[in-house]
Amino acid sequence: MLVINNGRVIDPATNTDRPRDILIDGDKIAEVAEPGRLATVPGRETFDAAGLIVAPGFIDLHAHLREPGQESSETIETGTRAAARGGFTAVCSMPNTKPVNDNASVTRFVLDRAKATGAVHVWPIGAASVGSQGQAISEIAGMKDAGIVAVSDDGKPIATAKLARQVMDYCRSLDLPVIEHAEDVSLAVGAVMREGVTSTRLGLRGMPAAAEAVCVARDVQLAELTGARLHVAHLSAKASLEQVRSAKSRGLRVTCEVTPHHFTLIDEDVSYDSRFKMNPPLGAREDRAALLEGLADGTVDAIATDHAPHEPALKDVEFDRAPFGILGFETALGLALEQLVHAGRLPLGRMIELFTRGPARILGIERKIAAGQPADLTVFSIDRAWTYRVEDSPSKSRNSPFDGKQFRGGPVATIVAGRVVYRTN
């Protein structure tokens, strides 16, 4: 039995923010109590969380673990170890592997590998269409049976409005969220960054913010038509956010996530360094401002990393040729603290909600720090100074624009199913 004692427990799900000790028995939380009492029982191991925050385990709705098929960039083992270092206790793995996770056998493979090698929970997301090709709807019920938590053709949008409607209709009956990579691809042909003054100056082909917003508009209409739960992935544009805000005000079941890089960086930060190339691309200054506002006012439901490892041989090339995506797990909390909490934009509790209760609700589950709940906990500091060194990452890839960045506050320990899977020294 393990006691996490002396910590400041913050749990938005139970509206808690007070000193509490937590007793863990096996993979469950056994008791939550006033500080002092639980640790005095002999034979109990203790984790001294004095000066630290203890939160429900962070959930990342959006990650690419690359297994099966692209193990030279990441595996479930290396990816989940990086996730653990980032304070995540569960990550949702996107289906754009090789082969695509579009049927129950692939789903089971992912779950088996996660069970055998994963440091944190892996919750697979199934492809909406066969091979994510946008032609035929995939075997969603079979995948749900095997354990998927949502569907998405991430990496690209569900190709047509017709198919998106079918998928939403079907997922409504299966009670699964549909996660959309919102992009009108015809407006983004050949584009490598956001269209604007910077893309024009650099001579890099840009995609307009409208490429995302046009697709969000389509999907919100279809969510209204079908009653489906629509979740907009990695939302990056002010115009898209306004549509989500308006959909919410109309009572539609529409949610969205924002990545740390989109609320931290803007298109003006792009040069020819491919570590700044991701899709959706970094937005304009006013987009970032709108995202920060949406994170504060509740329009944004979750922070998700879009952790997208690419091995150096693929990523370290000309900007035009480099694949989209950057690492995300290990810098997410540090960036959120810096941009949201230390900058005074959000209370700490709201930031924690964006990593915990927010994503849980999108998946239709409830996670809280209470007796009988899974013992998934994230312990972090809000003031410890540290420097992110990508060469120390357990990830197989190195594509982070935040290498060498100094942070104030970050993960200290990650507890998954009662086991301490990561702890700083």
Query: Taking CB under 8 A as the criterion, which residues in 319-378 touch other proteins?
Result: 319-321
- Enter the tokens of residue 82: 């990086």
What three-state secondary structure class fits 100?
coil
For other proteins, the binding residue among 1, 159, 187, 202 (CB under 8 A) is: 202
CA distance 406 to 425: 18
- Enter the tokens of residue 392: 């120390």
CA distance 160 to 154: 14
Q: Which stretch binds other proteins (CB under 8 A): 1-9, 53-61, 129-137, 192-200?
A: 192-200
Residue corresponding to tokens 């079907």: 170
Report if residue 201 touches other proteins, rule: CB under 8 A: yes
Report if residue 211 touches other proteins, rule: CB under 8 A: no
Torsion angle, alpha carbons of 336, 338, 344, 350, to 10: 20
- Which x/- pattern over 270-289 shows residues binding other proteins (rule: CB under 8 A)? -xx-----------------
Query: Number of residues in contact with other proteins, rule: CB under 8 A?
Result: 19
Minimal distance, residue 76 CB to other proteins, in Å: 28
Minimal distance, residue 72 CB to other proteins, in Å: 15
Minimal distance, residue 397 CB to other proteins, in Å: 17
Residue 147 · residue 113 · CB < 8 Å: no
Burial of 34 (0-12, 13-18, 19+ CB in 10 A): exposed
Report if residue 200 touches other proteins, rule: CB under 8 A: yes
**93, containing H or E segment:** strand 88-93
Nearer Cβ to other proteins, position 138 or 400?
400
Q: Specify the amino acid at residue 385.
A: A
Q: Which stretch binds other proteins (CB under 8 A): 13-21, 135-143, 195-203, 217-225?
A: 195-203
The catalytic residue among 21, 267, 287, 306 is 306
Report if residue 268 touches other proteins, rule: CB under 8 A: no
* Residues contacting 15, CB < 8 A, separation 6+: none
Give helix 348-355 / helix 329-336 axis angle, nearest 10°: 160
Is 306 a known active-site residue?
yes
Report if residue 34 touches other proteins, rule: CB under 8 A: no
- Which x/- pattern over 299-318 shows residues binding other proteins (rule: CB under 8 A)? --------------x--xxx
Residue corresponding to tokens 């001294």: 48
Minimal distance, residue 320 CB to other proteins, in Å: 4
Residue corresponding to tokens 């919100």: 220
Minimal distance, residue 181 CB to other proteins, in Å: 25
Residue corresponding to tokens 């998927």: 148
Minimal distance, residue 200 CB to other proteins, in Å: 4
**Would you tell me which residues interact with other proteins (CB under 8 A)?**
195-197, 199-205, 271-272, 313, 316-321
> Hey, which residues are catalytic here?
306
